[in-house]
Structure 1
């Protein structure tokens, strides 16, 4: 499980775009906490691949744990 911090995620539309970005690269579980701007995701991809996928949808990843 990875925890992704995305400070630019502010609304349900943003949430939907992030979810689509992660589904596009094979996420099997996605849980989005819009209030705290955190995404918990089960995915077998490198941090770089995740950052690039989310970036393609116009968002910057602050960090991944």
Structure 2
């Protein structure tokens, strides 16, 4: 399992946090902490790619920042 902090642009409220949490959970990511603008995540990098994570964030209506 890989642990990683991701930065997310466009989040500005608690509802944004919930939207991101839901998309990442659906992808199979263990959430360690999601805040406005970032998330600490844990996932199996053999099953989930960085592109998968970026797409999930995009589906929630936000953008992943490298």
The runs of at least 4 consecutive aligned structure 1 residues that moved more than 6 Å come to: none
TM-score (norm 1): 0.83
Cα RMSD (Å) of the superposition?
1.1
Aligned length: 61
TM-score (norm 2): 0.82
Gaps of 5+ in 2: none
- CA distance in 2 between counterparts of 1:3 and 1:28 reads 12
Unmatched segments (≥5 aa) in structure 1: none
